[in-house]
Amino acid sequence: MTGPSISETEWHVMEALWARHPLTAKEVIESLESEGARRWHPRTVNTLLGRLVRKGAVGFERDGRRYLYSPLRTREQCVREETRSFLAKIFQGRAAPALLHFAEEAKLDPKEIERLGKLLEERTTSSRRRPR
C-alpha cells in the first residue's frame, strides 16, 4: 500500500495527531507550540490539515462548528512509505548501500552497533534457510 508523501512541516502535524487524537486545529497548534519554540499561525495549520486530509493521511468529523482531526495512517505506515521513497530516490531502491552509508557516516553507540550486528546475523541465517 502506497501512502501519501508527507512534507517535513506536515510531519509535525502528524506527530501531534499520533500523540493524541482527535484534536481540533486549535489543539494541534497548542500541541505543536508546546513541543518547540516555533509559533504556528492558525492559517498555516489549517492549510496543512487540509493537505493531509486531501492526501488521505488525516480524517475529520464535525462536532458542531468545529472539526476533530485524527490520523488515518499509523506512524509506522508513514515511516515505511517515507523510507521506501527515500531508498528509491537516493539509493535506487537498494537497502544495502543505504545501510553501509549510514553505518559509515553516523555516530553509532555500542548498543546500536550490537543490535545491527544481531539483525544482520538473523537476516543472514533466515536467508540461508529459505528454499531457492
pLDDT digits (tens, 9 = 90+) for 25-66: 999 999 999 887 688 999 999 999 999 999 999 999 999 999
Same-domain status, 79 and 22: yes
State whether 110 and 88 are in the same domain. no
Residue 73 scores a pLDDT above 80: yes
> If DSSP codes are grouped into helix, strand and coil, which group holds residue 124?
helix
CA distances from 31 to 75, 95, 115 (A): 17, 35, 33
Per cent of the chain over pLDDT 90 is 57
Q: Does 120 lie in the same domain as 82?
A: no
Domain containing residue 60: 1-93
Alpha-carbon gap, residue 55 to 104, rounded angstroms: 35
Calpha distance 50→55 (Å, rounded): 9
Answer yes or no: are the C-beta atoms of 6 and 73 closer than 8 Å. no
Question: Considering only 2-11, 54-63, 112-121, which range has the smallest mean pLDDT?
Answer: 2-11
User: Are 86 and 29 in a shared domain?
Assistant: yes
Between 28 and 96, the more confident residue is: 28
Q: Domain check: are 108 and 74 in the same one?
A: no
Predicted TM-score (pTM) of this structure = 0.77
Together in a domain, 69 and 114: no
Residue 70 and residue 124 in one domain: no
Query: Is residue 74 over pLDDT 80?
Result: yes
Lowest average pLDDT, out of 2-6, 20-24, 116-120, goes to 2-6
Residues 35 and 78 both lie in one domain:
yes
pLDDT score, position 108: 86
Q: Are residues 7 and 54 in the same domain?
A: yes
Q: Quick one: 14 and 79 in the same domain?
A: yes
Place 102 in a pLDDT band, splitting at 50, 70 and 90.
confident
- Grid coordinates representing 79 are 515511516
**Does the pLDDT of residue 114 top 70, yes or no?**
yes
